[in-house]
Amino acid sequence: AWGKLQYDPEYVHAKVGDYIEFEFHPKNHTVTESSFDKPCTAIDGGFRTGFVPVQEEEYDLPIRKFKVTDDKPHWFYCGQVGHCPAGMVFAVNPPKKGNTFKKFEKMARQTGEKW
């Protein structure tokens, strides 16, 4: 958000039926659902916005919504080349112990994808 390769906030805790709104900022990002074990790889049938290009001077920022349908953790990343290993990841309902958001982010940064 605002020139940084990150989602803001990096994670949220939400209830079933809630909607998570993703506001897209310049230049061209995605919200792509992944798994904890493979943070920078899309899961089959998962949530995907596709690329959402935004111009620098754009003020009416595009929004995409994700509906929370269960109370399980959901893991996401930006599919733009280099963004996931730079730490541009997000989670809905990450556990406080075990498979935490910080572990997910660390694994994303270790994926080895190059710019």
In the chain, how many domains are there? Answer: 1
Q: Domain for residue 97, yes or no?
A: yes
| 74 CB-contact burial (10 Å; exposed 0-12 / middle 13-18 / buried 19+) | buried
**105 in a domain, yes or no?**
yes
User: By CB neighbour count within 10 A (0-12 exposed, 13-18 middle, 19+ buried), where does 19 fall?
Assistant: exposed
By DSSP bridging, strand 63-67 and strand 19-23 are antiparallel
Residue 113: per-residue pLDDT: 61
For 14-69, what is each residue's pLDDT tens digit?
A: 999 999 999 999 899 999 999 999 999 999 999 999 999 999 888 899 999 999 99
Q: Is residue 21 part of a domain?
A: yes
Say which CATH number the domain at 75 has: 2.60.40.420
The percent helix, strand, coil of the chain (3-state, each to 5) is: 10, 25, 65
| pLDDT confidence tier of residue 114, bands split at 50, 70 and 90 | low
Q: Place 112 in a pLDDT band, splitting at 50, 70 and 90.
A: confident
Secondary element (H or E) of residue 75: strand 74-77
Is 42 part of a structural domain of the chain? yes
Would residue 89 count as lying in a domain? yes
Would 34 be classed as within a structural domain?
yes
The DSSP secondary-structure symbol of 109 reads H
Its domain, for residue 79, covers 11-109
State the pairing for strand pair 11-12/89-92: parallel
**Domain assignment present for 4:** no
* Residue 115: predicted pLDDT: 46
Full-model pTM:
0.92
In tens, the pLDDT along 56-108 reads 888 899 999 999 999 999 999 999 999 999 999 999 999 999 999 999 999 99
Domain-located, residue 51? yes
